A and B are shown apart, each in its own frame.
Chain A
Amino acid sequence: MIQTKNLTKIFITEDIQTKALNDINLHVKDGEFIAIMGPSGCGKSTLLNILGLIDIPSDGSYMFHGKEIGNLKEKELTKARKGNIGFIFQSFNLIDGLTVYENVELPLMFMNINQKERKEKVKAVLKRMKIDHRSNHFPQQLSGGQQQRVAIARAVITEPKLLLADEPTGNLDSKNGTEVMNLLTELSQEGATIIMVTHSESDANYAHRVINLFDGKIVMETSN
């Protein structure tokens, strides 16, 4: 599904250049569950952002489903992202002004899916995430674990090919964290490709493969 070759990302400020990613060569197969680990500032999130098409590489190649996307423009990136990639963030990134239902429905609206179909899909996913009883609540009225379940619901509602999770349990207690990891495992078992950035060894143990980054380079790969 994903093939990167010498993927490099350089951040340039007024007079300092920082190499956040340095010649990353990565191959991710369909249905794989990968954990990316490493110390702060090693480039984990940068890699995830590039893989998720919300940032662009400075150099190298990135093939997503056999298509080179390293040189796509903003509009094409949006198009490539839409419905194909789901995101789960550490801070949930739910929209405060929308209800649980509306938050989850949002990606379907951007895909111009009709209301009836949207309703069915949202109901089903909320039920699956065991959050359907809260569908009319606003994010602030939910616990952290519940918010993350809503975020996962939103990420999977379009049945994306790739699910990206950036420290999905980082803001959760261990009980809620375990629940979220179980959910991701379930999704993986159902065939979803998942790439997760984490600091947690125990979370990484849920993955098929763990990639360790240091100073923007892959320094170690281990299979579970």
Chain B
Amino acid sequence: MNFIKLNIFYRNLKRDKLISIINAVGLIIGILSALFILEYVYYQRSYDSHHENAKDIYRVAYNRYQNNEVLWKTANSFPPTGKWLKEHYSDVVNHARITPKNEITISYNNASGSKIIYSEDKTYYATSSIFEVFTIPLLQGEKDPLKAPNTVAISHLAAERYFGEERPLGKTIKVNGNEDYMITAVYKKMPKNSIVKSDFLFSMETIYKQRPRIRTSWGYDYGSTFIQLKPNSDYKKLEKEGLPEMIAANYKERLDSQGKRDTYYLQPLQDIHLTSNIEYESEPPVNGKIISILFGFSIFLLIIAWINFINLTTARSIERANEVGVKKINGASKMNLITQFLSEAFLFNILCLAITIVLFYALNPWFKTITQIGDFNLFEHSKFLGTFIVIFVLGIIISCIYPAVILQSYKPVTVLKGKFKNKREGVFFRKLLVTLQFVISVVLLCGTLIAYKQATFLMEKDMGINYAQSIVIKAPKTGEKQSELQSKILLMKDELTQIPEVKGFTFSSDIPGQEIQHWFSCRRKGYDKTDTNSFFQLSIDDQFLEFYNIKLLAGRLFRKGEKETGTKSIIMNVKAMERVGYKTPEEAINNFVVTGRNEEFKIIGIVDDFYYQSIKNEPVPTVLRLTDSHKAFLTLKVASNNTTEIIQKLKTIYENYFPEQPFDYLSLENKISNTLKSDRTFLFVFSLFSILAIIIAVIGIVGLILITISQRMKEIGIRKVLGSELMDVSKLLAKEVASQIITAIIIAIPLAWYGYQNWFLKTYINSIELHIWMFLVPVIVLFIIVFLVIHLVALRAYQMTLSEVLQNE
């Protein structure tokens, strides 16, 4: 491209600034929004792709049925699973197992004698093979760092947190004040986009040393097994043959005698994040269908942006027809003209792309904060970069060639005689594209409203528990004897409840907003052992049910001061009651259940089902026991708006009793609100996408209207001379797109209704009902936007110099 052509390019941009700006804005918004959406999509799809063996790693999961009714679908599996499969199937080359070790405190006494102590939310026990199956680069330490009991591998972030400049290898940390672990390795921090990530990996051998039977147990399944297959192995074959054989060889007989059966399956590691939503997921899953829809839309958005560019460029071509005519008469060849227009369009695209990339990087921190996609870099993602280059090169070439070919095709004689008109050919095609743009806009706009209503619905829906104004303090883990610690906590409780703003208190094993971590197995008294079933167990105090305002359906609550002694009592929710085999609460009351150790428990009350983990997870069969074991959370109801002041008061009292323990607290409202974080992020991405799609669709409309105006400028002039007012011109132009918009609405509403009902709302266990107004409101909004835009474009046309237009023959 030589200087003269650059000059002409600049002059052409300047000649019609508005159109150049609209064209650039359309292209930039289109590419920019597509890039952001793709960043979100690729981040979600990039989960666990960093492992060298990613394609060959599978999680073993299973469903348990009784009389064809699902008892549970779990990501857990039995400890010997991996070993058995490796020994019996040559395709299995390695296996690793992790078991959560949640809500712990870790302390270290450093060289200067001070104690460093933190609460750690999510850690795991793991087999040493985790470093072979997964790609977790070791920075310090030897192979097989977790082969011995009471050893731990830590991330380099944890090493900095606890040890600063000190070398961590060989040092000992204390967990919950009474478990010692020696550091045998330091690994590089695990990426955010991984389903298994933790700063601490404790040796699985520790559990096996404490409870040797677990190593070979086909009854205790707490923990997930990952297997690594030979490259290109047929995992479906293993699923079909190997897994049923594993059950048959190890515990089928026992299951059969209980009328139960298990179905195992393998989950490809990279698919888990987007496709799996079962019990004991290590991460809250994301709806893969929605991610696929977003991906499709982003590509469509990109195409539409280029189509708008083509439309606007060809719409302007009428103004350059004369230039083409004169150039042709003066000897310009087809190729000369194509090269000129192609290079102009190409330069325009490259300029827009450059601005887009600058904007993308400038806005990326903000986008990443909102979507919480960490330090993921779209352009460093190998799969994306290839796709990006192909799509953009193709897009730019095609979008540049079409206007260039159209422009050079004008016949000089026609143009110079003044009989030139913009071709009607292709008008149908352009109208079709505008219709498609509107279908997408209506679908997205309806989606935004529906996603908003759904998110609000989830946030406002009664979970069956009242968690308002609740502050949770994590119970100290001092390593003292449970009974001693318990009495200290109770003493502290007395003091805490003296604070006037504290209106309630409860001490429990689990808190709402997370999965219940404890179980209870029992059967109805008088029934066979084979009828034993598993339930989630909440260890609570006598205040718990009242504190959370859980509805009692029959029987009674625990009495104040009641202890689990003598005849032990339990309370169940309806789901648990049904699993035990009672039909009504009244029928269950005062009956007994028996545990595996033949302990009897009297059912003294039945409470309504409640959503404990989140409103998005079904209530689970839960048994509530009045026991001190596993209690980990002190929850206080606080009637004050000055949270900071209250927290300070609580902290002071806590530190009086437990000076060396970290004071970790959280607001239950925030915690539960966090369970809907992914829904809010999706809503945000969707809303942003909708707004951008609408802007692009509106630019499409502007393009179409400008084409109309360029063809009908004289008619508009004549009408104006004859008395037509601005509104008449707007109506005339609106008629041009009315049929496309109406067609789009007729197509979009049923499509949106069906789509959102089946692909979006069905993924929730609690969802809103769709109403026609949810579709009509967006349509009306769109109508108003479109008409306003048309009116503005009409105003520009209406302000023409009549004398020039009418005499321009």
Q: Residues of A at under 8 Å CB distance from B?
A: 45-46, 49, 52, 54-55, 74-75, 78, 81-83, 87, 89-91, 93-97, 106-107, 110-111, 154, 166
Q: Which of B714, B721, B798, B809 contacts A87 (CB 8 A)?
A: B721
**Shortest distance from the beta carbon of A95 to any chain B beta carbon, whole Å:** 5
Q: Evaluate contact between A81 and B721: CB separation under 8 angstroms.
A: yes
CA distance A90 to B715 in the complex (A): 15
Binds A, one of B206-214, B277-285, B427-435, B800-808: B800-808
Q: Evaluate contact between B724 and A110: CB separation under 8 angstroms.
A: yes
Contact A110-B803, Cβ < 8 Å, known A78-B720, A91-B809, A97-B715: no
CA distance A54 to B800 in the complex (A): 10
Q: Which residues between 551 and 569 of chain B lie within 8 Å of chain A, taking CB atoms? A: none
**Shortest distance from the beta carbon of A159 to any chain B beta carbon, whole Å:** 14
Q: Residues of B at under 8 Å CB distance from A?
A: 714-715, 717-726, 728, 798-799, 801-803, 806-807, 809
Closest to A74 in B: B799
Contact A54-B723, Cβ < 8 Å, known A95-B718, A97-B715, A110-B728: no
Residues of B within 8 A of A95 (CB): 715, 718-719
Q: Evaluate contact between A55 and B801: CB separation under 8 angstroms.
A: yes
Q: Evaluate contact between A107 and B807: CB separation under 8 angstroms.
A: no
Q: Which of B714, B718, B723 contacts A78 (CB 8 A)?
A: B723
Chain A CB count within 10 A is highest, among B714, B798, B807, for B807
Closest to B421 in A: A96
**Additional 11 contacts, C-beta under 8 A, given A45-B803, A74-B798, A87-B722:** A49-B802, A54-B806, A75-B726, A78-B720, A83-B723, A91-B809, A93-B717, A95-B718, A107-B722, A111-B723, A154-B722
CA distance A52 to B803 in the complex (A): 10
**Shortest distance from the beta carbon of A64 to any chain B beta carbon, whole Å:** 16
Offer 26 A-B interface pairs, CB within 8 angstroms, sorted by A.
Answer: A45-B807, A46-B803, A49-B803, A54-B721, A54-B803, A54-B806, A55-B801, A75-B726, A78-B723, A78-B725, A81-B723, A87-B721, A87-B722, A89-B806, A93-B717, A93-B718, A94-B718, A95-B715, A95-B719, A106-B719, A106-B722, A110-B719, A110-B722, A110-B725, A111-B723, A154-B722
Closest to A93 in B: B718
Residues of B within 8 A of A94 (CB): 718
Residues of B within 8 A of A75 (CB): 725-726
CA distance A30 to B120 in the complex (A): 98
Tally inter-chain residue pairs, CB-CB below 8 A. 56
Residues of B within 8 A of A106 (CB): 719, 722, 724
**Shortest distance from the beta carbon of B512 to any chain A beta carbon, whole Å:** 64
Residues of B within 8 A of A49 (CB): 802-803
CA distance A94 to B721 in the complex (A): 12
Residues of B within 8 A of A89 (CB): 806-807
Residues of B within 8 A of A52 (CB): 721
Contact A93-B806, Cβ < 8 Å, known A81-B721, A110-B722: yes
Closest to B715 in A: A95
**Shortest distance from the beta carbon of A54 to any chain B beta carbon, whole Å:** 4
**Shortest distance from the beta carbon of A85 to any chain B beta carbon, whole Å:** 9
CA distance A166 to B726 in the complex (A): 25
**Shortest distance from the beta carbon of B11 to any chain A beta carbon, whole Å:** 13
Closest to B717 in A: A93
Chain A to chain B: the 8 pairs with minimum beta-carbon distance, closest first: A110-B723, A82-B723, A54-B802, A49-B803, A107-B722, A91-B809, A55-B803, A95-B715
CA distance A87 to B722 in the complex (A): 8
Residues of B within 8 A of A87 (CB): 721-722
Residues of A within 8 A of B720 (CB): 78
Residues of A within 8 A of B728 (CB): 110
CA distance A154 to B723 in the complex (A): 12
Residues of A within 8 A of B717 (CB): 93
Chain A CB count within 10 A is highest, among B720, B799, B801, for B720
Closest to B802 in A: A54
**Shortest distance from the beta carbon of A161 to any chain B beta carbon, whole Å:** 14
CA distance A110 to B803 in the complex (A): 20
CA distance A81 to B723 in the complex (A): 7
Closest to B720 in A: A78
Closest to A96 in B: B715
Closest to B714 in A: A93
Residues of B within 8 A of A93 (CB): 714, 717-718, 721, 806
Residues of B within 8 A of A111 (CB): 723
Chain B CB count within 10 A is highest, among A83, A91, A154, for A91
CA distance A95 to B722 in the complex (A): 12
Chain A CB count within 10 A is highest, among B719, B798, B799, for B719
CA distance A46 to B803 in the complex (A): 8
CA distance A142 to B809 in the complex (A): 19
Residues of A within 8 A of B798 (CB): 74
**Shortest distance from the beta carbon of B421 to any chain A beta carbon, whole Å:** 10
Residues of A within 8 A of B809 (CB): 90-91
**Shortest distance from the beta carbon of B727 to any chain A beta carbon, whole Å:** 11
Residues of A within 8 A of B723 (CB): 78, 81-83, 107, 110-111
CA distance A154 to B719 in the complex (A): 11
Contact A55-B721, Cβ < 8 Å, known A95-B715, A97-B715: no
Residues of A within 8 A of B714 (CB): 93
**Shortest distance from the beta carbon of A151 to any chain B beta carbon, whole Å:** 10
Closest to A95 in B: B715
Closest to B803 in A: A49
CA distance A114 to B265 in the complex (A): 77
Residues of B within 8 A of A154 (CB): 722
Chain B CB count within 10 A is highest, among A45, A75, A83, A93, for A93
**Shortest distance from the beta carbon of A13 to any chain B beta carbon, whole Å:** 13
**Shortest distance from the beta carbon of B764 to any chain A beta carbon, whole Å:** 52
Closest to B728 in A: A110
CA distance A127 to B469 in the complex (A): 86
Residues of A within 8 A of B719 (CB): 95, 106, 110
Closest to A110 in B: B723
Closest to A84 in B: B723
Closest to A55 in B: B803
CA distance A90 to B714 in the complex (A): 14
Closest to A46 in B: B803
**Shortest distance from the beta carbon of B566 to any chain A beta carbon, whole Å:** 94
**Shortest distance from the beta carbon of A57 to any chain B beta carbon, whole Å:** 12
Residues of A within 8 A of B721 (CB): 52, 54, 81, 87, 93
CA distance A107 to B724 in the complex (A): 8
CA distance A96 to B803 in the complex (A): 19
CA distance A90 to B808 in the complex (A): 11
CA distance A89 to B723 in the complex (A): 16
CA distance A91 to B720 in the complex (A): 17
CA distance A74 to B724 in the complex (A): 12
Residues of A within 8 A of B802 (CB): 49, 54-55
Closest to A111 in B: B723
Closest to A50 in B: B803
Residues of B within 8 A of A55 (CB): 801-803
Chain B CB count within 10 A is highest, among A55, A90, A95, for A95
CA distance A49 to B808 in the complex (A): 14
**Shortest distance from the beta carbon of B185 to any chain A beta carbon, whole Å:** 75
Residues of A within 8 A of B722 (CB): 87, 106-107, 110, 154
